[in-house]
Amino acid sequence: MMRIAMMVAGTVLMGVAWADNHGKQALTLYQSGAALVADTHDLPLDKGRQTLTLASLPDRIRPETFWLAGDGIELLGSRYRDGGDDRAAMLAALVGQTVTLRRADGSGGDVTREATLLSVDSVPMVRVDDRVEWLDAESPWRLALDSVPDTALPAGALQLDIRADEGGRQALEMLYQVEGMSWRTEYVASLDQDAEQLTLRAQAVISNNAGTDWQQAQLALIAGDVARQGGQPKVMMMRSESAAADGMQAEQAADYYRYELDQAVTLADGEQRSVLLMPEQRIEVEREYRFENGWQYLDGNRQRAHAGIRVGFENTLGQPMPAGTIRVYGDGTTPLLIGEAGIGNTPVGAPVELELGRAFDITAERTTTDTQRDGQAREIERELVIENARSEPVTVRVVESMPGDWTMMSASADHEKVDAQRAAWSLEVPAEGETRLTYRVRYR
């Protein structure tokens, strides 16, 4: 950063109306990592064409997304300067011009000299008479400006070229996007000991890394897959609070869902905050142990695996479930994490299936026992030996992928054709025992 001493005698901003960026604000946050900011300002304007400069904008504003609405107001163009040193912008506008240098005279006064400003790359370089000097931190000289150059745009400021049909105070609504803000859903659940009910609650986790503090902003959250470009926010600090004891209700907004906080929010830059999205609700679930395999052309090779632990339910919560992570705990006497799984955006009534881990005591060994070829057709016979080391019997679902156009020739247990590519069996496995499944399939 440039280290110079500089003083401005007066603040004359020719043709520029300065506005505080923190008027009445509304933030709409998207899961994809963006925020739509709506600012409302009441500003004095002149009739006709003029410039309006907005200062203290978020560091990560996308100036190309700016929209201005007002009665009789037309946006003709804009100019934006990224964050940096304001002094460099002011001085860059004066390169090649005569400037005034000042230094203390030792008796309380100043000595002044006229100089030509040559460059402002690292430190200002000036020509005084027939000499060239650099105004670094050791120089006794400082630059003195009579006014801020009207061509200089402060760092982080957006300058608007507008036209107003009438003069006087005007209500302007400004709409723009910023990067670095997002929200996500985090679900916490407790599975009862019988694995028949899940107690589920949801919170919205909001991240602000937009380079600005939001003061008393109205906040809304959009659930849905909005197509856009943008980066992901980082997390720096965390704070939790409840927006309301009964959570937020989802309202349909175009093809998405909208959640609105019932009170204004102050959100510091770099802060992460959680608010209650859905209160605790109990939901009926089904747990199963499952072996599911993709089709592989294995002759005689054995594959051993542990059963997947799956919990499934329908969304009967009365509102959509935004995409997020569900963390499931056990409600026994010992605190236990059963597992974590992600879900996509889930409408009311849609199924949810969570794979929470692998069962330690329930295993299966899968073997290809025979293969035959008949022209373009082929037959394969397979065997699965499912073992249960637990002290109680379990029901296991086996799902096998099938190739091409297939026909089940024989099986040791009744199967279900799940779809064109899969067959499934539900098998009882005795306590500390095993169950064998064999099947033969013909395909082409």
Condensed to tens digits (0 to 9), the pLDDT of residues 246-280 reads 567 777 777 888 888 888 888 999 999 999 999 99
pLDDT value, residue 63? 86
Give yes or no: residues 11 and 75 share one domain.
Answer: yes
Mean pLDDT across the stretch 57-70?
86
Residues 298 and 439 in one domain: yes
Q: Could you tell me the pLDDT band of residue 120, with boundaries at 50, 70 and 90?
A: confident
396 and 291 co-located in one domain? yes
Q: What pLDDT sits at residue 152?
A: 57
Asked if residue 247 belongs to a domain, the reply is yes
Question: Are 155 and 228 within one domain?
Answer: no
> What's the pLDDT score for residue 406?
93
User: Each residue of 346-369: pLDDT tens digit?
Assistant: 999 999 999 999 999 999 999 988
pLDDT tens-place string over residues 273-310 = 999 999 999 999 999 999 987 655 545 567 789 999 99
Q: Quote the pLDDT of residue 418.
A: 92
Q: Is 241 exposed, middle or buried (0-12, 13-18, 19+ CB in 10 A)?
A: exposed
Structural element, H or E, at residue 302? strand 302-314
The pLDDT value given to residue 438: 96
Token pair for 107: 């008796």
Residue written as tokens 């994490």?
Answer: 337
pLDDT of the residue at 442? 94
What local confidence, expressed as pLDDT, does residue 238 receive? Answer: 33
Q: How high is the pLDDT of residue 5?
A: 37
- Across the beta sheet with 394-401, the strand order is 406-411, 433-443, 377-388, 351-374, 302-314, 286-293, 394-401, 422-429, 416-419
Task: Cite the beta strand spans of 105-225 per DSSP E.
Answer: 110-119, 125-128, 131-134, 142-145, 158-164, 168-179, 181-191, 197-208, 214-223
Question: Per residue in 198-213, pLDDT tens?
Answer: 999 999 999 998 888 8
57 & 160 share domain: yes
Q: Which residue has the tokens 């937020």?
A: 248
Report how far residue 366's alpha carbon sits from residue 282's, in angstroms, rounded to the nearest whole number: 38
pLDDT at residue 240 in the model: 35
Q: Pick the residue with more confidence: 52 or 238?
A: 52
The pLDDT score that the predictor gives to residue 387 is 97
pLDDT tens-digit map of 8-26: 332 222 233 334 434 568 9
Q: How confident is the model at residue 125 (pLDDT cuts 50, 70, 90)?
A: confident
Residue 234, pLDDT score: 35
| DSSP E strands, 70-167 | 73-80, 98-104, 110-119, 125-128, 131-134, 142-145, 158-164
Q: How many domains does the chain have?
A: 3
Model pLDDT, residue 90: 66
Q: How far is CA 220 from CA 35, 137, 233, in A?
A: 10, 48, 18
For strands 125-128 and 110-119, give the pairing: antiparallel
- Of the three residues 141, 156, 176, the one that is the final residue of a domain is 176
Q: In 88-111, which positions are buried (b, 16+ CB within 10 angstroms) versus exposed (e)?
A: bbbbebbeeeebbbbeeeeeeeee
Report the distance separating Cα 135 and Cα 90, nearest Å: 16
Whether residue 147 sits in one domain with residue 235: no
Domain assignment of residue 407, given as a range = 286-307+357-443
Mean pLDDT over all residues of the chain? 82
Q: Which of 214-223, 237-246, 307-316, 371-380 has the highest mean pLDDT?
A: 307-316
**Amino acid occupying residue 121:** D
Domain presence at residue 339? no
Residue 118, domain member (yes or no)? yes
Contacts 24+ apart (CB under 8 A), 238-244: 238/271, 238/272, 238/273, 238/274, 239/271, 239/272, 239/273, 239/274, 240/203, 240/273, 240/274, 241/273, 241/274, 241/275, 242/275, 242/276, 243/275, 243/276, 244/276
Element (H, E) at 68: strand 61-69
- Cα distance between residue 215 and residue 24, in whole Å: 9
Task: Mark whether 74 and 119 lie in a shared domain.
Answer: yes
pLDDT value at residue 148: 55
Give residue-wise pLDDT tens across range 32-55.
Answer: 777 899 988 888 899 999 988 887
Which tokens belong to 435? 């169950």
Residue 62 lies in a domain: yes
Instruction: Judge if 89 and 190 occupy the same domain.
Output: no
Give yes or no for residue 146 having a pLDDT over 90: no
- 272 and 208: one domain? yes
Q: What pLDDT is attached to residue 123?
A: 82
Q: What local confidence, expressed as pLDDT, does residue 190 receive?
A: 93
- pLDDT at position 15: 33
pLDDT value at position 416? 95
Supply 259's token pair: 């959640």
Residues 160 and 212 in one domain: no
CA-nearest of 345, 206, 190 to 275 is 206
Q: Is residue 366 domain-resident? A: yes
Q: Is 372 inside any structural domain?
A: yes
Q: Which of 176, 211, 235 is the last residue of a domain?
A: 176
| Residue 294 shares a structural domain with residue 411 | yes
How would residue 382 be classed by pLDDT, with cut points 50, 70 and 90? Answer: very high
Band of the pLDDT at 170, cuts 50, 70, 90? confident
Q: Is residue 326 part of a domain?
A: no
- Tell me, what CATH number does 246's domain have? 2.60.40
Between strands 422-429 and 433-443, the pairing is unpaired
Over residues 423-444, the mean pLDDT reads 96
Q: Is 278 inside any structural domain?
A: yes
Q: Which of 155, 176, 197 is the last residue of a domain?
A: 176
pLDDT(395) > 90: yes
More confident residue, 39 or 435: 435
* Alpha carbons 263 and 164: distance in angstroms, whole number: 35
**Better-scored residue on pLDDT, 442 or 88:** 442
For residue 419, pLDDT beyond 50: yes
- On whether the CB atoms of residues 322 and 185 are closer than 8 A, the answer is yes
Residue tagged 């600012």 (tokens): 39
> Residue written as tokens 């027939």?
130
What is the average per-residue pLDDT within 387-401? Answer: 95
Q: How far apart are the first and last CA of the chain?
A: 72
If asked whether residues 134 and 203 sit together in one domain, one would say no
Phi, psi of 88 (to 5 degrees): -65, -40
